[in-house]
Amino acid sequence: MMKNTLMAAGAVLLSLAVSMPAEARRHTAVQADVAEWSDEQDERPARRSRQARVVEVSDEAAAEERVTRRSRRAARVTEASTDTTEERPARRRRSRDSSDESSGSVSVAGAGPRPGAWCGWYMRTRHGGGADYNLAWNWSRRGSALSGPQIGAIVVWPHHVGEITGQTSDGRWIVLSGNDSNQVKERARSVSGAVFRSL
């Protein structure tokens, strides 16, 4: 009996489905489309939120880069404006002479190839002298002795040699030398314990 009832109910449902007007079927299809569109709409705010976070992060990175560039420019302007008159020509010489160390193995006519410890050799490229002046301390016997530092003097430490090119506003001596951290540098240095020679 139960089986017959179920069969009868199934037949009724089937006849209803078959006899359902075309408009009702279209309505069901439209409802399915609306449900699908609604799902897409729910996903859009999440996508927008992710995109907004990406834009926010890239905007922050760009802003930090702009601040860094401005800081570097400001530092260069400050440095240029605080140069003393003696430091400006020294800065120009430094950029001109920096090509000496940039090429690695360097050889200058008359000075020969650059040795491993090359501050003496660098002074030879500026003031001449034989290969014995590749040794920094040998410059302490060249020219005539000076009683103290002055612009243009050769300054000699036991293991380094350079040339005094200026003086800072606070009284420190500016020295140009080779092999200063493996570069040609012109910077304020302590000349304590050094000897001074005039060429």
Q: Provide DSSP, 165-184.
A: EEE-TTSPEEEEESSSSSS-
pLDDT of residue 112: 84
128 touches 142 (CB < 8 A) = no
pLDDT band at 100 (very low <50, low <70, confident <90, very high): very low
Query: Which residues, 6 or more positions from 188, have their beta carbon under 8 angstroms from its beta carbon?
Result: 168, 172, 173, 174, 175
| Alpha-carbon 104 to chain mean position | 22
Query: Which residues, 6 or more positions from 56, have their beta carbon under 8 angstroms from its beta carbon?
Result: none
69 against 26, higher pLDDT: 69
138 touches 132 (CB < 8 A) = yes
Enclosing H/E stretch for 113: strand 112-113
66 against 89, higher pLDDT: 66
Residue 68 has what DSSP assignment?
H
| Separation between Cα atoms, residue 64 and residue 70, nearest integer Å | 10
The CATH classification number of 87-198 equals: 3.90.1720
Query: Across 12-26, 44-58, 141-155, which has the greatest mean pLDDT?
Result: 141-155
pTM for this model (two decimals): 0.48
| Separation between Cα atoms, residue 83 and residue 114, nearest integer Å | 32
Question: Mapping DSSP to helix (H, G, I), strand (E, B) and coil, where does residue 129 land?
Answer: coil
Q: Domain limits of the chain? A: 2-80, 87-198
Mean pLDDT score, 96-107? 47
97 against 38, higher pLDDT: 38
Mean pLDDT, the chain, whole residue set: 75
pLDDT of residue 147: 93
Number of H helices and number of E strands within the chain? Answer: 5, 8
First to last CA, the chain: 129
What residue type is assigned to position 123 of the chain?
M
Mean pLDDT score, 4-12? 64
pLDDT of residue 98: 41
1 exposed, middle or buried (CB, 10 Å; 0-12, 13-18, 19+)?
exposed
pLDDT of residue 133: 94
pLDDT reading at 150 higher than 70:
yes
